[in-house]
Amino acid sequence: MQVLDAITRLVNASGRSWRDISVAMGKSDNYLSATVAQSKRKAGDVRSATLAEFAAACGYALALVPVDQVPEGAVVIDAPSREAGE
C-alpha cells in the first residue's frame, strides 16, 4: 500500500472527516487535504513526523516491526520502488 492510500484508508476507518482529523492534529481545517494534494504532486512523499501525527489523530500509532511479525489488521505501507526514485 502506498502512503496516500494508507492515509485515505485510516481516514475512512476512523469515521471522522478530513477536517476533523486536521483539527485534531492542531492544524488548519484544510491541512490534511492540502498535504495530501501536495504529496500527490511529489509522488506520495509525506514526512514521517506528519504521518505519525496523522496516525495518532486517527487512533493509530506509527511503528516499525519486523516483516515477519506484522500484526493482523496493521496498515502496511510499501517501500517505494527504486525505479520511482531514480
Domains of the chain: 3-80 (1.10.260)
Residue 36 near residue 7, CB atoms below 8 Å = yes
* Cβ neighbours of residue 27 closer than 8 Å, sequence gap 6 or more: none
Is residue 83 very low, low, confident or very high in pLDDT (cuts 50, 70, 90)? low
Q: Is pTM beyond 0.75 here? A: no
pLDDT tens per residue, range 40-71: 777 667 788 888 888 899 888 888 888 899 99
